[in-house]
Chains A and B, each alone.
Chain A
Amino acid sequence: MSITKWSDLRRFTQARVGLGRSGNAVPTGAHLDFQEAHAAARDAVWSALDVEALRAELGPVPVLHSEAADRKTYLLRPDLGRRLRATDRDSLPRTGGTVIVVADGLCASGVQRQAAAMVRALNAGWPVVIVEQARVAIGDDIGEAMGAEAVVVLIGERPGLSAQDSMGIYLTWQPRRGRTDAERNCISNVRPEGISLQDAAAKVHWLLRGARALGATGVALKDDMTSAPLLR
């Protein structure tokens, strides 16, 4: 069927294409759709992780906390969200190997819905911990405390207007405090309408094999996985 109407472009993307025009502005209906989506995203930022529901799926895994005491502090002090509370640091077992960190990030609903299924999709038996009010780099503290050779951080991504359930996955080889973001690899937009759990799990394993061979993650580890799972 050929595309004739401008609004038919919506068939190809969830982006807000083909909205029409009122003068140069967005028509009233589309304008209020936007306002409604923004309201939902604002509320999602303040949603909390339901830790007990997660443990019901993941088992009795350790529950940790960053140095950011509450959400407001978390938003204004990312440095505190990157650091593991000292008492938690001392309580962690030294497991070595690869460790999975489930973190709330900027929107808990993404990991709430997908973290347990992601752990199953990885199917590797790696130890899991949950951490609240956390930023990506908290994986460095946790990995270091557990003597891990690699850390896989599953973290809620900043909510957008069209997705409030997106999860990011960050891989860091030899995690320790002071690693920079250039030393990590990231898979973002893991959600039902984005990258599937299966594709993300395949990529995590592929990247970890590369990291082991290279002795590093980050910009040095090029993502040239050939049978690119994103091409569908």
Chain B
Amino acid sequence: MPFRHAIAGTTHVFADLRTLLARATPFRSGDALAGVAATSAAERVAAQRALADLPLKHFLNETVIPYEADDVTRLIQDSHDAAAFAPVSHLTVGGFRDWLLAAEPEALAPLRRGLTPEMVAAVSKIMRISDLIAVAQKCRVVTRFRNTIGLPGTLSIRLQPNHPTDDLRGVAASTLDGLLMGAGDAVIGVNPATDNIEQVLGLLTMLDEVRTRFDIPTQSCVLCHVTTALLAMERGAPVDLVFQSIGGTQGVNESFGVTQALLREAEDAALSLKRGTLGEDVMYFETGQGSALSAEAHHGVDQQTIEARAYGVARAFAPLLVNSVVGFIGPEYLFDGKQIIRAGLEDHFCGKLLGLPMGVDICYTNHAEADQDDMDTLLTSLGVAGVTYIMGVPGADDVMLAYQSTSFHDGLYARAALGKTPAPEFAAWLERMGIGPGEAIPASMAPALIGLT
């Protein structure tokens, strides 16, 4: 059934739900690349008005990708909770925006399983940045493994100590640098330069030794492919969290070499190790707008709606951490700082509303039209929105992945400017170890203790 809306005597027609959602999306290069973007500002606002008038119930009857063709659609439709949906089931998308902005924080969590990713994506398309911040700020998502992540007033940091050749001492030096600046409460998570199993085992062992040597209440992760993590667990490696990149269609997940069943197998394997002390949230997912188009698995759906569907996959598990790598995928999907900033806030909003412990890799590549000022703006906005965690990279320069993310310094800035603290167990550890603003390394954190001599 087509949708239509008239503006200034011109009737704009949108053939189906996926087209309506795509045309209503604020402009970004990836939707233009996919050929689904609105072709004029008038067409976009017409789509936004038609979308605002659409009952939320419609999303239960029309899918953006056919049920038979896609296992993410099946997951979303089959897991919808009608009882949880009841408080908003009478609303249109536009009415839902008003409802969210006026809602008490306590009203949001019970709603999660009643919302589909497409509903959440739809309402975000008619929201301004201040709306995305105000509603996300009201969402509370708390997860646990060896510490407590996501409590109000906290901002956690993933310590990302990457090295171009996975040199163990190089990784250890960056890890120590980050710990000394208060990073690492979300996870100490290294992207390996290759998926070589021996390298992965070496990194896992070293990170676990650093954690136990300093008795840090946190978790480590080597961000290898899920099949490599399974292999590492078979070999008895100390795997805290299982990482995987995921997307919002069956096809993009296939391009990543994963299925929902494989993710379940990995989650079960990590749970069987019983390494968490405070909780059992063992999964770590990364997502990002544009991955489905990159894999030519987008089915004519706009990239932001597909990104929200990836959160539908993530919440079928019990992740400790989920983050969008918003500016990483490149200018063909998010061209400049303006597009990256909006996308980062959309991703955080959608993930939080769906109940995920949402962090953001606030980042850009050198072929995008973006710079440090854009990242500072996004960081500050996300901090106000209550982002669960951000990345911490030495000097903002990832020397392995060749892109810029937030630095350990940026984490300190955001916590200070917004009055945030690390996860409570980690904050207590920092104090116990004498880690503060000083220029000297406390004796308790001497590099020699982890073999840096």
Please give the residue numbers on chain A whose beta carbons come within 8 Å of chain B beta carbons, in ascending order: 1-6, 8-21, 24-26, 30, 34-35, 37-38, 41-42, 44-45, 75-79, 106, 157-163, 166, 180-182, 186-189, 193-195, 218-219, 222-226, 228, 230-232
Q: Which residues of A contact B447 (CB under 8 A)?
A: 2-3, 8-9
Give CA–CA (A181, B255) in the complex, Å: 6
Q: Report yes or no: A26 in contact with B407, Cβ–Cβ below 8 A.
A: yes
**22 CB-based A-B contacts, threshold 8 Å:** A5-B441, A6-B177, A8-B447, A9-B174, A13-B167, A17-B173, A19-B394, A21-B412, A34-B397, A45-B366, A75-B331, A76-B332, A78-B332, A158-B402, A160-B402, A160-B403, A161-B402, A180-B255, A181-B255, A222-B231, A228-B199, A232-B167
In the complex, chain A residues whose CB is within 8 Å of the CB of B404: 38, 161
> Looking across the interface, which residue of chain B has its beta carbon closest to that of A17?
B177
**Are the C-beta atoms of A219 and B196 separated by less than 8 Å?**
no
| Min distance, Cβ A10 to any Cβ of chain B, angstroms | 8
Query: Given known contacts A25-B409, A189-B193, what 4 new A-B pairs fall within 8 Å (CB)?
Result: A3-B448, A13-B163, A38-B404, A222-B227
CA distance A200 to B238 in the complex (A): 29
With A15-B395, A160-B397, A218-B257 known as contacts, the answer to whether A194 contacts B164 (CB < 8 A) is: yes
Docked pose: A28 CA to B172 CA in angstroms: 26
In B97-138, the 8 Å CB interface with A consists of none
- The reply to whether A160 and B173 form a contact with Cβ atoms under 8 Å apart is no
Residues on B facing A (Cβ under 8 Å): 29, 33, 161-167, 169-174, 176-177, 180-181, 193-199, 202, 225, 227-228, 231, 254-257, 294-295, 330-332, 335, 365-367, 371-372, 393-404, 407, 409, 412-413, 416, 437, 439-441, 446-448, 452-453
> Complex Cα distance A15/B164, Å?
9
Determine how close the nearest CB of chain A comes to the CB of B170; give it in whole angstroms: 4
Instruction: Please determine whether A3 and B453 come into contact, CB atoms closer than 8 angstroms.
Output: yes
Question: Which one, A77, A106, A189, contacts B33 given CB within 8 A?
Answer: A77
Distance between Cα atoms of A232 and B196 in the complex (Å): 15
Which of B174, B177, B372, B396 has the largest number of chain A CB atoms within 10 A?
A: B177
Known contacts A21-B437, A160-B398: A6-B180 contact under CB 8 Å: yes
Residue of A whose beta carbon sits closest to that of B34: A79
Question: Within the assembled complex, what's the spacing in Å between the Cα atoms of A169 and B254?
Answer: 22
Nearest-neighbour CB distance to chain A for B418, whole angstroms, equals 12
Q: A226 to B254, Cβ gap below 8 A?
A: no
Which of A163, A180, A222 makes the CB contact (< 8 A) with B399? Answer: A163
Nearest B residue to A33 via CB reads B395
Instruction: Kindly name the residue among A10, A15, A21, A42 whose own CB sees the greatest number of chain B CB atoms within 10 A.
Output: A15
Chain A's closest residue to B166 (CB) is: A230
Taken together as a complex, chains A and B put the C-alpha atoms of A13 and B255 apart, in Å, by 33
* List of A residues within 8 angstroms of B199 by Cβ: 228, 230-231
